[in-house]
Each structure stands twice: as C-alpha cells, then as structure tokens.
Chains A and B, each alone.
Chain A
Amino acid sequence: MTSTDTSPKHADTVAKGLSPWQLALRRLARNKAATFSIYLLLAIIIVCIVGPAISPWELDAVDWDHIGAAPDLVSKHYFGTDANGRDLFVRTLQGGRISLMVGLLATAVSFIIGIAYGAIAGYAGGKTDALMMRFVDILYALPFMFFVILLTVYFGRSIWLIFIAIGAVEWLTMARIVRGQALSIKQRSFVEAAKVTGASHSAIIKRHIIPNTLGPVIVYATLTVPQVILFESFLSFLGLGVQEPMTSWGVLIAEGAAQMESAPWMLLFPAAFLAVTLFCLNFIGDGLRDALDPKDR
C-alpha cells in the first residue's frame, strides 16, 4: 500500500506528529518475520472460521464408509477421518476455533484484570500494595491442577470453566509485571507534574500510569496467548477440557497420539496447526518487543 496521507510540507508548518504507538507499528511493519506471522495467523483464524462451512461434513457426523481413513480428496475428507469416522478437516478447524478463542479470551480477561489490579497496587504503594500483592502470592501458591480438578468435580466439564481457571491464574503474572512498571513510572516526573497540576488519583492511573505500562504488557500478552493455548491443550489432553463432540487442538492431538503409528495424519494435522500458531504468536511477541523498545535491540 502506498501512503496517501503525506500532505505537502511547507517550510513553516509542523508535520502532524506520530504517536509512540504509531512509530512502534511502523517498526513492527519493517520486521519481516513478525509481519509474515501476523498474516499467517490471520489466515489460520479465517480458515478456522470459514473452513467448516465449505466442507460437506459435520463436526459429529460419522462416515461409516471411511473409518480411520487417510486424507482423500475424492471423499472430501481433506485431512482424513478419525477412529470414529468423523471428518478431521472439520474437527481440526472447529478445534482451532475453541483453542484460539480460549487463548485470546482468557488472555484478554487476564490482561484487563491484571492491568487494573497491578496499576492500582503499584501506584498506591505502601501497605495497600503489600496487601494486594500478598493476595496474589497466595493465589500463586494454589496448585493449578488441583484447582482445575476441583472445579470440574463441582461444576462438571465445560468450556467456561477453562476460561475461569486459566484466567484466574494468568492475571497474576500480568498484575506483577504491571505493578513493577507502575512502581517505576510513578517516580517519573510527569506523574509528579500531573499531581501538582491537581489531577486526581484515578486520572493519573488511567492517563499516565497505564499507557506507560502497556509496552511490556502487550509483549507479555502476546506470549501469554500460546501459553494459554498450551494450557488448554494440556487440560484437554488429560480429559479435563472441552467435552465431546466439541473438540480442541489439545483433544485432537491426544486422540491422534494414541493412533500415531497406524494413522499418523490424525496427529499430524492438528499438531501442525497448533505448532504454526504458536510459532506465529511467538514471532509476533518478539517483533512487538523490538518495536516497542527500540533501545533494547
């Protein structure tokens, strides 16, 4: 794309400035690995959304003629079928929807809670900070698996439970990162300057503390998404995750791993999707880190 917004510059006018965010985006656009990853990830997301619609097969429809069949274009089982005769193409993409949704939503939830909690704790400092962070430490100390098993025993298996369980754990690290940032940012003189111009505490947190913590936090968030996807896969692998006939990449990989020797495609396709997605997210995270902190290259 060519930029169309470059108006002619006169010697006595000041070019409209770019915000630090826009500058970071430009630097990100120059990072080839990150840009490629963004497009690839977008492609995966689009395929996961529209893919199941173009296949004639349903998520839970059993094709009695092709049970455990290898990939085949004629029967329109592009990725083959699983041990129960269900189409793997549809199931992989459906599983992708769940995995990506869990990854993005749980990260978004932990992002919002973590930023709010961490910024308040760091800005308040002193006893409030100590109290809030000890609470985080206590939650940290809870054994995660035990927590999830307890939840599933009480409420049964459901996708929402996974959101809650993962969200409840992931925001803790986010809160710690933001709190550390807030502690250092509140020493900078623009926060003092805001104080002496009579800005209220909430205005200072919203306008000055949080935007300045966002850089490292966004990087951490992009690296949290793959972590959450892996978490979900792990839970599903153990049988604590999504429920049949719904599926996720973790479930498919678990099933595929069991048939690895006789029907490798059952493992190969979901595993490839998962691996490529994780790679993309990691590259994007790295690219963002470089773009947001140009001094650190």
Chain B
Amino acid sequence: MSQLLSINNLSVQFNTEGGLIKAVRGVSFAIQAGETVAIVGESGAGKSQVFHALMGLLPGNGKAQGEVDFFGQSILNQPARALNKIRGKDIGMIFQDPMTALNPYLRIGAQLVEVLMVHKQMSKREARKIAIDMLERVHIKQARQRIDSYPHELSGGMRQRVAIAMALLCQPRLIIADEPTTALDVTVQTEIIRLLKEIHDTLNTSMALITHDLPLVAGLCERVIVMYAGHIVETGSVDDIFYRAAHPYTQALLAATPSAALLNKARLDEPGDDKNQGKRRLQAIDGQPPDPLNLPAGCAFHPRCAYADKPCFSQEPDLQQLASGKQVACWHSLEQVQS
C-alpha cells in the first residue's frame, strides 16, 4: 500500500479571549491508500480539528503548524486557490449535520453539478448525468426526479446520502467523514454506515471516519486512532483496540459504550462464569474532559485515571510501539509490557 496522507507533528491552536487553546498538540499519523481509519475521542479531543486544519477550514483565530503531506504535496496552510484544486477533487468531506449541509435555496442537482463543473470542466448536461448516476449509487430512489428536489423535501438520511454523493462526485482518493451519523437516528445510521462501507469496497477510496461512536467503527474501519485532549493516546487495528485496549482511557471508553460492553461480555462469558450473565453495567468515565485552557500537568488523562501514580503527574508519556502496528501513550501499559 502506498501512503496517501501523512500528518507529521500537527498542532492546532486557537487564540481566544480566555487564552490560547491547544486543540491539537503534536499529532502524527498516516493513512494508506485504500485504508479506512477511525479517529475516536470525546468532544473536544481535537479529532475534528486535525481534519479541519488540513482542509483549510480553521476559523480566523485558529493556527495550524506541522507538516501535512497529501499524495506528495504539502497542503497545510496553503492559500484557498491552491487548496481548491485538491478539495472536492482528491479529498471529499462529509459533515455531521445533514440538515444544514445543503443550501436550502438550490436544487440538489444544482449543488452537485456545480462541483463537477468546477473540477472536471464538464458541460451541464454531462455533469447532470454523472450526478444522477452518483445519486443512484448512494441508493436514492427515482434519482432522475429527485435531482430536481430542494433539500427541504428530503429526509435527514436522504440528505446525508446526497452529501455523500456530493463528496464522491469527483471520485476522491480520500473521504473525510466528520461524524456522519451523529445527527441521524439509529436505523438510518446503520444504512449510512453500510453505504460508506459499500463505497469503500467498490471504489477503494481511503476513508477517515471521525466519530465518538466506537461500535460504528468496528464494522467499517481497519485501524483506530484514539485521541484525548489533543493527543493520540492509542492506535492499533480494530481488534487491538476492542479486545486488547492498552490505554486506560480506551478501556474506559469501551466500558462506557453500550454495544462494546455487550461485546466484552460475550468475550468474558466463559463457561461457568454465569455471574456476569446479563449483569454487566455501563460505566461512565469519572470526571470531566480537561479544560483546554488549563491542561493538567503530566498525562492529560491522569485526573480521571484509576492507575495514575508518580510519573503520570509530572511527565506526559509519548507514543510507544507496543506490538506491531500498535502504539500507546501511557506509563502503565509500557510497564506491563516490560515486566
């Protein structure tokens, strides 16, 4: 597999009235061609900001530093004119709220056709044909008629499908999905995830899925990156994260997730161990996510961590290789391996 996107030591800061917010603090990872990666974390972990930074979507008070390399091209902090050659064409993005993702005053066809006319210099007629194909591809029925609908005539799930179609139009190498199912109800969520998986399987696009919903990740992604307070705390394959979570935060996150808890239960339900049968309870993570203006010294997770002791209070652990393809940033999981 060739490397598609590599992010090296990326930091994002916001200059606010309260002070400097360090939303992302030195994050490095790569996405291979054809790979699906999930970026998981609580609200405020900085997971969205990583991708907003590389797409040039930071607000005026935001500043990004580091290196972002997309297909051999440095794209961080490029002017809009340069980014516009890549955005939409090579990288597509899907947003959280399908209700506001489409302009209410334009027919969806007009919004789809526009993308193709900008990037592929197509005639309106050609672009419309491709837009209809793409709508069919995302399973919108009667695409030929639907293309002339206004967004308010579509349901939330359909709008998200249209948004996905819009991101796919130019057949990008990478799709960034920023919590694509958060605003949808459960049954629609499943449909959208199935659609994303289908798209990945048929078009072999790389995908970066930003989410706080762990079970969602299990079916769709190959690799998981867990972020906490602007840092990557653990990364590994889906199995590594779900069955062999090394970082206390990842473990806590799994324990707090309904279906992951069931999943764990199934694993724990050894024969004869009927105490746990159906009695496993969801566990909330104690405490609050850290105040980004006032991050704790040492490991950012230590105030909420049951294992925290000396080194955690003073020194922030770096990501360390734990096994092949698995990295974790925690003093304790390192000790476990060493002993």
- A195 pairs with B145, CB closer than 8 A: no
* A189-B97, A197-B115 known; A17-B150 Cβ under 8 A: yes
Return chain A residues, CB-CB under 8 Å to B56: 195
Given A125-B60, A189-B95, A200-B84: A20 and B114 within 8 A (CB)? no
Binary contact readout A17-33 vs B (1 if CB under 8 angstroms, 0 otherwise): 11111000000000000
Does B55 touch A at the CB level, under 8 Å? yes
Asked if A152 is at the interface of the complex by the 8 Å CB criterion, the answer is no
Interface size class of A (residues with CB under 8 A): 20 to 34
0 or 1 for each of B88-123: is its CB under 8 Å from A? (1 = yes): 110111011100111111110000001100110000
Q: Does B149 contact A (CB under 8 A)?
A: yes
B63 within 8 Å of A by Cβ? no
Chain B residues, CB < 8 A from A12: 142
Tell me the dominant secondary structure on chain B's binding face.
loop
Q: Which residues of A contact B91 (CB under 8 A)?
A: 196
Smallest Cβ-Cβ distance to A214: which chain B residue? B105
How many angstroms from the CA of A98 to the CA of B169 in the assembled complex?
53
Say yes or no for B197: interface residue by CB 8 A criterion: no
A198 to B87, CA, bound (A): 5
| A196, A200, A207 pick with most chain B CB within 10 angstroms | A196
Contacts of B146 in A (CB 8 A): 14
Q: Is the CB of B85 within 8 A of A190?
A: no
Q: Are A199 and B142 in contact (CB under 8 A)?
A: no
A200–B114 Cα distance when bound, in Å, is 11
CB–CB B145/A20 < 8 A? no
The yes or no answer to A295 lying at the interface (CB within 8 A) is no
CA distance A11 to B188 in the complex (A): 23
Pairwise interchain contact A21-B87, C-beta atoms closer than 8 A: no
Q: Bound complex: CA of A126 vs CA of B59, how far in Å?
A: 10
Quick one: given A125-B60, A211-B106, are A193 and B163 in contact (CB under 8 Å)?
yes
Partner of A192, one of B60, B95, B150: B95
Q: Which of A13, A18, A195, A201 contacts B142 (CB 8 A)?
A: A13
- Taking CB atoms, residues of chain B closer than 8 Å to A125 are 60
Contacts of B149 in A (CB 8 A): 14, 17
Tell me, in angstroms, the Cα distance from A126 to B58 when the chains sit together: 13
Q: Are A20 and B142 in contact (CB under 8 A)?
A: no
Whole-angstrom distance from the CB of B293 to the nearest CB of chain A?
22
Interface residues of B in 8-63 (CB under 8 A from A): 55-57, 60
* Interface residues in A202-216 (C-beta closer than 8 Å to B): 203, 207-208, 211-212
> Which residues of chain B have C-beta atoms less than 8 A from A193's C-beta?
93, 95, 101-102, 163, 166
- Chain B contact-residue range equals 35 or more
- Does any Cβ of B come within 8 Å of A297's Cβ? no
Query: Known: A190-B102, A198-B88. Is A20-B96 also a contact (CB below 8 A)?
Result: no
Pair B84/A198 contact, Cβ less than 8 Å: yes
A8 to chain B, nearest CB (A): 14
Beta-carbon contact of B96 and A189 below 8 Å? yes
In angstroms, Cα B79 to Cα A201, docked, is 12
Q: A17-B149, A126-B60 are in contact. Are A197 and B118 (CB under 8 A)?
A: yes
* Cα distance, A199 to B145, chains bound together (Å): 25
Contact A196 B57 (CB under 8 A): yes
Q: A125-B60, A197-B166 are in contact. Are A21 and B105 (CB under 8 A)?
A: yes
Interchain nearest-CB distance for A260 vs B (Å): 50
Q: Mark B267-300 against chain A: 1 for CB-CB distance below 8 A, else 0.
A: 0000000000000000000000000000000000
Q: Which residues of chain B are near A13, meaning CB under 8 Å?
A: 142, 145
Nearest-Cβ distance from residue B323 to partner chain A, whole angstroms:
36
Closest chain B CB from A116 CB (angstroms): 18
Q: Are A18 and B84 in contact, with the CB atoms below 8 A?
A: no
A187 and B148 CA atoms in complex are apart in Å by 26
- A19, B85: Cα distance in complex, Å: 31
**Would you give the 0/1 interface string for B61-91, flagging 1 where the beta carbon is closer than 8 Å to chain A?**
0000000000000000000110111111101
Whether A198 and B118, one on each chain, are in contact in the complex, defined by CB atoms closer than 8 angstroms, is yes
Instruction: Name the CB-closest residue of A to B110.
Output: A207
> Please, how many angstroms separate the alpha-carbon atoms of A212 and B105 in the complex?
7
A207 CB → nearest B CB, Å: 7
Complex CA–CA separation, A195 to B55 (angstroms): 9
| Residue ID in chain A nearest B93 by CB atoms | A196
Q: Which residues of A contact B118 (CB under 8 A)?
A: 197-200, 203
**Contact in complex: B163, A17 (CB < 8 Å):** no
CB pair B57 A195 closer than 8 Å: yes
B95 contacts A199, CB within 8 Å?
no
B87 engages A195 (CB within 8 Å): yes
Q: Are A17 and B148 in contact (CB under 8 A)?
A: yes
Q: B84, A17: Cβ atoms under 8 Å? A: no
Q: Is B335 among interface residues, defined by CB-CB distance under 8 A?
A: no
CB<8 Å pairs between A and B, sample of 30: A13-B142, A13-B145, A14-B146, A17-B107, A17-B153, A20-B152, A189-B95, A189-B96, A190-B100, A190-B102, A193-B95, A196-B57, A196-B167, A197-B87, A197-B92, A197-B118, A197-B166, A197-B167, A198-B88, A198-B89, A198-B119, A199-B84, A199-B118, A200-B84, A201-B80, A207-B103, A208-B103, A211-B103, A211-B106, A212-B104
List of 6 A-B pairs having minimum Cβ-Cβ separation, nearest first: A197-B88, A198-B88, A14-B145, A198-B84, A196-B93, A211-B105
Further 20 A-B residue pairs, CB within 8 A, beyond A21-B105, A195-B87: A13-B142, A17-B107, A17-B149, A17-B150, A19-B107, A20-B105, A126-B60, A189-B96, A193-B93, A193-B95, A195-B55, A197-B87, A197-B88, A197-B118, A198-B85, A198-B118, A200-B81, A201-B80, A211-B103, A212-B105
